[in-house]
């Protein structure tokens, strides 16, 4: 459990995090979204005490991280995979970090095998590719089998094997009742793995909700894709308040604000042919863009009336 | 979800997870129980911080390259100095004392150790490794003290070996050519040699403090060269004699009270006072680095 209570962080004039309050609960994967520079990394740094908040408090597992008795066992962190000494081997890097909480060779070898770095563990970490560096960063986060996992862009540069492995790991960790905070720019990946979402923009909390609620409420919800030779006759029948129809060509259109049941029934009643009737769930990407677009307009102070 | 591409690796993780975890009804209960077991076995202690810093220091090449360069300079200059002095000695009485002759490399060697210290203090800031270190040991004072302790544990023996090596190589050369020599049992000789090793270690620690304070090697090494080499010479020749009272408190001048390095100005502290002043410089540099690291964001 991570309890963030009214944290603000300013660097000179710039406000990086602005009065953020939220609780990141155990047992679910919490996704952390926001445009570049929105304050995601700063928030993560504030949680583990790398930066001190200008105002507010953060508690991890009930206390300030600075007072943690077994830091690495409480929180595993991946903030910057390139933050390793270039000349030190991956194995020595893990041994040095693990030693701070009494972790020795056996566990280091275990973690190296987990992230698939055993073969290259003796090589200087400075020569690692982005993906290998990322694996090493994940290995550090997992060293002491932590109760809380904070990962900033963990799949950045990982190959498909690595991405699938991280996905499985996060799901397992959530099932085991651990707390997971994860940021990523890959919306499709986030949609697959996260149960809960925090969205911030310009340091402020824009959304703190479950994944399904976020997609449902922020976007137009579900859409119905229709292919029909009688599209020209069907479209006027569907017209109603809240229904938006976008026609792609003479025989195809997409309708929002109406269910596939209604479309199918109407077609049957009027004897119109249907070749395809598909319900399309809105994606996280669409919902996210919708939310941040609104935010940008709001901030710009000139909320324009949207066409259609 | 299972990992199809790397099943062995993933199952290894699962086995461990299940073996360590007591069964519990709700995830929250399970999480709390897990945290307690892990906290009990994975406590962060100062001793563990020391082990970590030792692994870090020994696992980078620069530590041993620096130590090697230091030894070569100190011992090499001892041989060179002894040979040069010996060849001049036949003509008349020696001008310099034998100990100064065999330790003539110290003025250069001290800069090598100062740079080594600066690197030990600054390199984690350059690589950003300091973020990982700070997350692993959030009580930041422990990091500074552990780093300084481990650095001392490496540099002091290296300095002692270098200094006694220079003595052991230089004195026989002087003796073989009929020049004046001193023995370890002569008054003040042993103290001077040990004092020299202490001075060398102190400068490495001051370099470490500056490196951590400036978060970079450039400023720290400039500080060491300026403070140890340039400032004493410059001030000693530029300032009037009345400033000697102040100059004797410079690190190198303070060290000249208990070793054979050349200080600035005419006044010299007592040996005990010299030790106190030099230790004061070390504490100021390392303490300053500590305060800065504790207070600033990393």
Residue-wise pLDDT tens digits, B178-219? 888 898 988 889 999 999 999 999 999 999 999 999 999 999
By Cβ distance, the residue of B43, B124, B128 closest to A69 is: B43
Whether residues A10 and A97 fall in one domain: yes
Q: What is the pLDDT of residue A244?
A: 83
Residues of A in contact with B24 (CB under 8 A): 177
pLDDT at A302 over 50: no
Residue A304: inside a domain: no
Phi, psi of B265 (to 5 degrees): 75, 175
pLDDT band, very low/low/confident/very high, at B17 (cuts 50, 70, 90): very low
Q: Please give the residue that has the higher pLDDT: either A142 or B28.
A: A142
Same-domain pairing of A176 and A265: no
Residue B218 lies in a domain: yes
Indicate whether B179 belongs to any domain: yes
Domain count along chain B = 1
Band (B94; pLDDT cuts 50, 70, 90): low
CA of residue A90 relative to chain centroid, distance: 28
A204 & A227 share domain: no
| Residues in chain B closer than 8 A to A69 (CB atoms) | 39, 43-44
How large is the ipTM? 0.84
Interchain proximity B48–A100, CB inside 8 Å: yes
Residue at B1 is within a domain: no
- Please tell me whether residues A242 and A109 are part of one structural domain: no
- Are A187 and A226 found together in one domain? no
Residue B3 to residues A114, A162, B8, B12, B239: CA-CA distances in angstroms?
12, 10, 9, 12, 75
Kindly state whether residue B176 falls inside one of the protein's structural domains. Answer: yes
Nearest Cβ partner for A70 among B30, B39, B129: B39
Mean pLDDT of B215-239: 89
**Which pLDDT value is given to residue B248?**
86
Considering only the beta carbons, identify the residue of B27, B132, B137 that sits closest to A83. B132
Q: CATH no. for residue A34?
A: 3.40.50.300
In whole numbers, what is the pLDDT of chain B averaged over residues? 85
- Please give the tally of structural domains in chain A: 2
Q: How far is B43 from chain A (nearest CA, A)?
A: 4
Q: Where are the alpha helices (DSSP H) in A239-302?
A: 260-269, 284-300
Confidence band for B266, pLDDT divided at 50, 70 and 90: low
Residue contact A177–B41, C-beta within 8 A:
no
pLDDT of residue B8: 39
From CA A238, how far away is CA A267, in angstroms rounded? 10
Does residue B199 contact residue B107 with C-beta atoms inside 8 Å?
no
Does A289 map to a domain? Answer: no
Assess if residue A292 is contained within a domain: no
Q: Looking at the domain assignment, is residue B200 inside a domain?
A: yes
pLDDT confidence band for A280 (50 / 70 / 90): confident
- pLDDT on residue B69: 97
Structural domain including B215 reads 29-295
Task: Print the domain residue range for A43.
Answer: 2-208
Neighbour-count burial of A172, counting CB atoms closer than 10 A to its CB (0-12 exposed, 13-18 middle, 19+ buried): middle
A105 and A199 both lie in a single domain: yes
From the CA atom positions of chain A, what is the Rg in Å? 24
Q: What is the CATH number of the domain that holds A269?
A: 3.30.70
Chain A hits for B298, CB-CB cut-off 8 Å, are: 50
Q: Are residues A32 and A179 in the same domain?
A: yes
User: Of A152, A181, A208, which residue sits at a domain end?
Assistant: A208
A244, A140: one domain: no
Would A43 be classed as within a structural domain? yes
- State what percent of residues in chain A have pLDDT above 90: 70
């Amino acid at each position: 459990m991570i309890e963030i209570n009214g944290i603000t962080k300013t660097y000179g004039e710039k406000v990086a995090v602005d009065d953020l309050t939220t609780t990141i609960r155990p047992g679910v994967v919490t996704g952390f979204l926001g445009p570049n520079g929105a304050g995601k990394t700063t928030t993560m740094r504030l949680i583990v005490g790398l930066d001190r908040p200008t105002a507010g408090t953060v508690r991890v597992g009930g206390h300030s991280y600075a007072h943690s008795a077994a830091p690495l066992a409480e929180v595993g962190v991946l903030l910057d995979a390139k933050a390793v000494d270039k000349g030190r081997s991956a194995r020595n890097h893990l041994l040095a970090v693990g030693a701070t909480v009494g972790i020795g060779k056996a566990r280091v070898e275990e973690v190296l095998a987990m992230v698939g770095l055993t073969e290259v563990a003796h090589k200087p970490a400075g020569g690692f590719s982005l993906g290998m560096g990322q694996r090493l960063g994940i290995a550090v986060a997992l060293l002491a089998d932590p109760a809380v996992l904070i990962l900033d862009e963990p799949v950045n540069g990982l190959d498909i094997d690595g991405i699938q492995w991280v996905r499985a790991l996060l799901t397992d960790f959530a099932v085991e009742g651990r707390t997971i905070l994860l940021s990523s720019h890959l919306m499709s990946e986030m949609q697959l793995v996260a149960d809960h979402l925090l969205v911030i923009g310009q340091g402020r909390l824009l959304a703190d909700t479950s994944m399904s609620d976020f997609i449902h409420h922020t976007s137009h919800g579900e859409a119905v894709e229709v292919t029909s030779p009688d599209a020209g006759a069907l479209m006027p029948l569907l017209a109603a308040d809240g229904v938006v129809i976008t026609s792609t060509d003479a025989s195809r259109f997409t309708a929002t604000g109406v269910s596939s049941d209604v479309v199918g029934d109407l077609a049957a009643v009027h004897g119109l042919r249907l070749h395809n009737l598909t319900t399309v769930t809105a994606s996280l990407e669409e919902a996210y863009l919708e939310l941040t677009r609104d935010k940008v307009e709001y901030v710009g102070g000139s909320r324009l009336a949207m066409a259609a | 979800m299972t990992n199809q591409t790397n099943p062995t690796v993933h199952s290894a993780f699962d086995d461990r997870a299940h073996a360590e975890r007591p069964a519990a009804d709700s995830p929250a209960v399970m999480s709390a129980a897990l945290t307690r077991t892990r906290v009990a076995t994975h406590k962060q202690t100062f001793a563990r911080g020391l082990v970590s810093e030792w692994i870090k220091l020994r696992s980078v090449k620069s530590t041993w390259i620096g130590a090697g360069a230091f030894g070569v300079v100190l011992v090499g200059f001892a041989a060179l100095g002894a040979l040069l002095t010996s060849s001049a000695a036949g003509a008349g009485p020696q001008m310099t004392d034998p100990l100064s002759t065999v330790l003539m490399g110290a003025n250069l060697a001290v800069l090598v150790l100062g740079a080594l210290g600066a690197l030990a203090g600054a390199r984690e800031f350059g690589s950003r490794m300091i973020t990982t270190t700070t997350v692993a040991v959030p009580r930041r004072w422990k990091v500074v003290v552990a780093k300084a302790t481990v650095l001392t544990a490496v540099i002091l023996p290296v300095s002692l070996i270098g200094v006694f090596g220079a003595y052991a190589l230089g004195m026989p050369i002087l003796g073989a050519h009929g020049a004046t020599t001193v023995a370890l049992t002569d008054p003040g000789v042993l103290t001077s040699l040990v004092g020299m090793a202490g001075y060398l270690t102190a400068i490495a620690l001051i370099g470490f403090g500056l490196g951590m304070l400036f978060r970079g090697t450039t400023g720290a090494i400039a500080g060491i060269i300026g403070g140890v080499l340039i400032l004493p010479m410059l001030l000693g020749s530029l300032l009037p004699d009345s400033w000697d009272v102040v100059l004797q408190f410079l690190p190198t001048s303070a060290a000249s009270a208990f070793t054979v390095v050349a200080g600035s100005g005419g006044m010299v502290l007592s040996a005990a006072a010299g030790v106190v002043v030099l230790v004061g410089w070390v504490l100021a540099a390392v303490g300053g680095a500590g305060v800065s690291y504790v207070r600033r964001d990393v």
